[in-house]
Every structure is written in structure tokens, then in C-alpha cells.
Amino acid sequence: MNVSIASSRAEGALVEITDVRKSYFSNRVETPVLHGINLHMQRGDFMAVMGQSGSGKSTLMNILGCLDTPTSGTYRLAGVDVEKQSRAELATLRNRTIGFVFQSFNLLKRMTILDNVALPLIYAGVSRKASRDRAQTQLDKVGLGELANRQPNQLSGGQQQRVAIARALVADPPLILADEPTGNLDTRTSNDIMALLNELNRERGQSIILVTHEPDIAAHAKRLVRLKDGLVLYDGPATEGLRQLKTDDSIATIAEAAL
Amino acid sequence: MKLVHVLSEALRAMLANPLRTMLTMLGIIIGIASVVLMLAVGDGIKAFIDKQLSVLGSNLVIVQADSRKAVGARLRTGTVQTITLDDAEAINRLPSVKGAAPMLTTYSQISYGNDNTNTQVQGTTPTSFVIRNLRLAKGIGLSEVDVASATRVAVLGKKVAEQLFYKNDPIGQTIRIDNQSFQVIGVLDNEGQSFDSGDIGEVVMVPISTARVTLVRTATPRSVQYVVVQSKTTEGLNDMVADIKDLMRDRHRIRADDVDDFRVVNFGEFAKTGEAIATGLSIALGFIGAVSLVVGGIGIMNIMLVSVTERTREIGIRMAIGARPSDVLWQFLIEAVAICVVSGIIGVALSAGVASAVSSTGKFEMMIGLKAVVIAVVFSCVVGVFFGFYPARRASKLQPVECLRYE
């Protein structure tokens, strides 16, 4: 499979998006959402994607996560041309390359925490025993090893998100894709989760893409990408980007007040 | 994905909504139970027929005098005694015949001590024991010597012996048949309906020669009422009937255009009728079972479709973390099959309960064989795959993006 060839080329960019456009069609009416996005990301980077609703943030996120394919343009993830993959190949690519962290945690009900974390390995064809061992190790790392046999609904939101992070990490994917990971959490728990992601990036060199609409959360990233109306508005260091964002917002507030 | 994992997922899904799962399973349970009971009824009837045949003796025909006009009035079949011992001996010599037993029967009062009963007395020869599969519970059967010298000996049917002697040993005791002394030499072991009398347990057998001199008045010293004949093989039965007819017409000097003065009654036909009834019953039960399985299968399809919709988000999550469409397909297909197989097992257990309840009444033996169980399990798998495939395929075709957006 070409995924294994790709992972051997560790020096290449992890994410290469070139002139990606995406349109949705309903009743043959074309609604363009992404108007040509270019984005490159090296391994070990920590990138935040910001944008207001309607900016194409979610669409870009789905394309980045190989959950959806672009209408045109190319997306190379870890050296693999995503748009050339079949549905089954995309599933395998997601399984090996991306660890998802969702806003609503998305743990499977009626399944223990341990089995939830082990699931990506099961789909990768790892034996049940080995999957559980590795899942336990991963749970220990996020500090929830003792809750392995609980069900998701017996855990707090912050704990559930830690479990989701453990699940994202268990198959050791090169990329973590976190979609509003703190959206359902209070400020203190959000900071804990962000601290955990930061630690992963710093100590393990884990590549992370973080989608958020909160500047405080985006501030944890090294790099910021701002989207507006389906185009990249800013791509650069997070600190500079957030300063610009603040200015833009105050201008908008003044403009609003003026009206 | 490993099978163990898929199976445990299926079990988890089934237990998530136990009441719904049970109700879904009900149709399949009833269907499988009907199919298994159908097979059990079929086997039971076959066994019943075989048992009856073993009492009757197989491949038997009876040769008896046909009705005959006597001064213009047609008389009851067998009333006119045109068959003789010589006819019986001639039939016995036919190459296709295994044995022929001449019979003289009557109803007589039988008494022993204070007890008495009225039942059929059959005068016959030792051949009768062989061709009708008669076994002795006690003592000995009739012998050629008994026939040759017209000894006053009797072999009692099981029920007659019980009635007259209760638990005492009848062998060597003297009973009275129509007020004449007979010594009991044996007791039959057989039970069940006989073709030429009532229950074989309720007859008394004596040498044909003794019957003639003591009990049955005959037209001529060599007349018999009928002859029981057994063919050597089942396949040869029809040929043997033709041989007998030719022989009898020849012996009775019947001209080519005259009708027979005898009848050959073929008991193989009765067995065939019984089997036809069994087949008919099996088909009826099988049809009920099939209808129930189809209805049950549709129920499963319905519930699986609901389940796929309910679990859309779960499917999305699974696909996001690496489940291929085929993994999702297998998950739902195995779930449907698991529901069916569990139903099948419950259905077999249910039918086993019904079968043992029916058998315990003692009227009819129902047997559930390994064959029935295997067929039930295979059937339920087929139903599961057939009705589970469409929902499973639908689940596998879902788009992960849309599933994750689904609330």
C-alpha cells in the first residue's frame, strides 16, 4: 500500500494543499465554499485554523481529515494523493495517518473507555489483546488508566476529551486533527486539554491542526491560518495573526457602533 | 477486523435494546420452531408407519374369495369359501413368494378360571409367525407337528394373556375356547393394529387344523377363509400379485373372459397412503414455517434499517477512525445473522419442548434429530444474510461527513 511508502518519506511535507476548491451542489445549483486554498504544513508543526461560520472552516477541516474530497485541486497527505483514493483506501489512510479529536468527544456509547481507545487499532487489524494493551498504555499517559472499564457517560467532559485524545494517539498517527476540542468544556478544563496538546507537540513533535473560533485557544498554537469567504486571509505566526485579528475585530466593532 | 470483535459488537448491539431484540426475534423463533416441528412430525409419522408395518409384516397381500352370486343374490366377500389349503400350498410354491399362511378365523368365548373374554381366534400355520413378524414374549409358537396332528394348543396375544392371567404365568395352563380345552404354549410380544383383525394383542392363535375340527365350520374339509402371502422383495410385490392371479385363475379353471372368484388385497398401498399423509402434513407445516420465516425476516430488515438510522453518528465515528465500508457492512450483517442464529437456537429449544410434551402423552412419538437442528441453524443464517444485507449495505454506503453531522 502506498501509505507505507509515504510514511518512509518523513522529510516531505505532511500536508500539501494546492489550489483546493470545494463546491456543494443542490438541485444543480453550485454553491462554492472554498475558492482555492493553498496550505503547506511540515511535520512537528502546531497550526490553528480560525474563521467565522461560513468561512469554509468546516469544509476545509473535512477535506484535511479525508472525510470529504475536494471538487478540484490536489491534497497530498503524508505523500499520498488523497483525491485518487477509493473509499476503503481513504478509511485506511485516516486510520493510519490522522487522529481525530471532536468537539462533542464522539466516544461510542455502551463501550468501555478501554474499548473506545482500542478501536482504531482493531480497524488496523491489530489483535484484540495487543489493542487493549496499547490502549491501556495510552490511557495511562493521559492520566485515565484507572477508569479504563468505565462507560463514556460515567466520565466528565474533560475526561471524555482526554479519552478521545488517547484514542487519537493510540495508532501513533503523524497528524492530530482537533475540531473545536474545547468547544464543550469550561475554561479551566479547556486549558488542561490545550496544555496536553501543547505537551504532545513540544515533547513528541506531534503535528497538530486545531480548528477553533476562540482566539485564546488559538494562542496555544505556533502558527495561525485565518479563513474568510473560502480564502486564506492570514497564514503566519500565531502571535502576529492574533494581534491582527484583534485589530480587525475592533475595527469591525467601531464600524458596527458607527452604524 | 477480527470475527471475535464483530461478534462481540453484534452481541453488544443486541443487548442494548433487549425488548426490541426479543420482539424482532419472535418471528424467526416461530418460523424455525415450525420448520423443526415439521421435520419432527414427518419423522414421527414415518416411525409410526414403520412400527405399524412391523406389526403387519411388510410386503403382505391377502388372497380371499370374492363375493359370489348364490341364486342371484350377491353375498359378502369371503362368505363363499372357494379358497383351499391346496391353493395356499400352490401359492407357497411360487418362486416370488416367501411364505403363504392359510387362515380360518372366528370369534369365540375364551375362559380361564373365573375370567373370560370374547375375542378373535385365528387358526393358522407356523408360516404366519414368520411372514407377519410375530415375536414371542414367552413360550413357543405353533409348529408343523401341531398343525399335522391338530393338537389343542394356543398362543395368546399379549392383552388376552394379561386379561386372563394378570401377572401369573400362562404357559402350560389350560384355557377353554368355546368350552373346549386348549393348552397355552406361548404369548405374543407384538402390539398394534393388525390388517386382518383388530389389535394383534387381542388374538388367540391355534393350529388351523385344530380350528377346523373344534371352532370353525367349513364348506369342505380343505376350505380356508383367506391366505396371507408375503413376497420375497418389495420390488417383486406387484409381480407376485400377478403370479398369484394367474395361478388362482388356472387352479379355479376360470375362463379368459370370466371374472376372478377371488381378490388379492395389497397392504403395501396402505403404507403408501400413510406416507402421503405424512408428506402432506410436512408440506403444510413447512409452508407455515416458511411464511413465518419470511415475515420474521422482514421484521429483522425493518429493525436493522431503524438501527442503521439510529446509529448513523456511530457509523460516522467508526468511519472517521478507520472503519472501511466493508467493516461497517460486516458489522451490521453479522448483527442480523446473530439475531437470526440466536432465534434459531431458541426456536429449536422451543420445538424440543413441544416435541417432548407431545411425546409424553404417549400417543405420538416426535423426534428432533441432528438433521433438524442443522437445517434450522442453516435456515436462520440464510434468513439473516438475506434480510440483513440491504440494511448493512445501506450503512456501508453512508458518507462519513454526513454521519458526523447527524444528531
CA pair distance A198, A193, nearest whole angstrom: 9
Residue A256, min C-alpha distance to chain B (Å): 33
- Indicate which of A87, A114, A127, A131 best probes the interface with B, i.e. most B CBs within 10 Å of its own CB: A87
Whether B323 and chain A come into contact, CB under 8 Å, resolves to: yes
Whether B132 and chain A come into contact, CB under 8 Å, resolves to: no
Long-range contacts of range B143-146, CB-CB < 8 Å, 24 or more positions apart? B146/B207, B146/B210
- Asked whether B130 and B192 are in contact (CB, 8 A), the reply is no
Q: Tell me how crowded residue B227 is: count the other CB atoms within 10 A of its CB.
A: 27
Whether A92 and chain B come into contact, CB under 8 Å, resolves to: yes
Nearest beta carbon to residue A123 from set B322, B399, B400: B322
CA pair distance B160, B169, nearest whole angstrom: 13
For B:282-321, CB contacts with A below 8 A are 313-314, 317-321
- Indicate which of A60, A96, A122 best probes the interface with B, i.e. most B CBs within 10 Å of its own CB: A122
Weakly modelled stretches of chain B, pLDDT under 70:
1-2, 52-57, 67-80, 193, 195-197, 268, 270-271
Q: How confident is the model at residue A26 (pLDDT cuts 50, 70, 90)?
A: confident
Whether A69 and chain B come into contact, CB under 8 Å, resolves to: no
Whether A123 and chain B come into contact, CB under 8 Å, resolves to: yes
Whether A167 and chain B come into contact, CB under 8 Å, resolves to: yes
What is the CB-side half-sphere exposure of residue A171 using CA atoms within 13 A? Answer: 30
Beta bridge partners of B110: B117, B177
Beta bridge partners of B193: B199
Closest-CA residue to B359 (of B48, B34, B33): B48
In this predicted structure, what is the pLDDT of residue B376?
83
CA pair distance B243, B21, nearest whole angstrom: 66
- Asked whether B187 and B201 are in contact (CB, 8 A), the reply is no
Subunit contact A119:B326, Cβ cutoff 8 A: no
Q: How confident is the model at residue A1 (pLDDT cuts 50, 70, 90)?
A: very low
Subunit contact B16:A110, Cβ cutoff 8 A: yes
CA pair distance A250, A239, nearest whole angstrom: 17
Nearest residue of B to residue A104, measured between CA atoms: B404
All three cell numbers of A206: 506531534
CA pair distance A122, B10, nearest whole angstrom: 15
Number of domains in chain A: 1
Q: How confident is the model at residue A4 (pLDDT cuts 50, 70, 90)?
A: very low
Return the SS3 of B110: strand
Q: Does pLDDT of A6 surpass 70?
A: no
For A195-247, give the DSSP string: HHHHHHHHHH--EEEEE-S-HHHHTTSSEEEEEETTEEEEEEEHHHHHHHHHH
- Asked whether B100 and B293 are in contact (CB, 8 A), the reply is no
Cβ-based burial of B181 (10 A; exposed 0-12, middle 13-18, buried ≥19)? exposed
Percentage of chain B lying above the pLDDT 90 cut: 35
Subunit contact B322:A67, Cβ cutoff 8 A: no
Query: Each residue of A152-189: pLDDT tens digit?
Result: 999 998 899 999 999 999 999 999 999 988 888 888 88
CA pair distance B334, B290, nearest whole angstrom: 22
Whether B5 and chain A come into contact, CB under 8 Å, resolves to: yes
The residues, any chain, with a CB within 8 Å of residue B101's CB and separated by 6 or more, are B88, B124, B125, B127, B128, B131, B132, B227, B228, B229
Residue B405, min C-alpha distance to chain A (Å): 11
CA pair distance B324, A96, nearest whole angstrom: 12
What is the residue range of A161's domain? 2-258
Query: Each residue of B224-256: pLDDT tens digit?
Result: 989 999 888 878 888 898 899 989 888 888 888
- B chain contacts of residue A109, beta-carbon cutoff 8 Å: 314
- B chain contacts of residue A125, beta-carbon cutoff 8 Å: 1-2
Which residue type, as a one-letter code, is found at position B226? Y
Nearest residue of B to residue A168, measured between CA atoms: B321
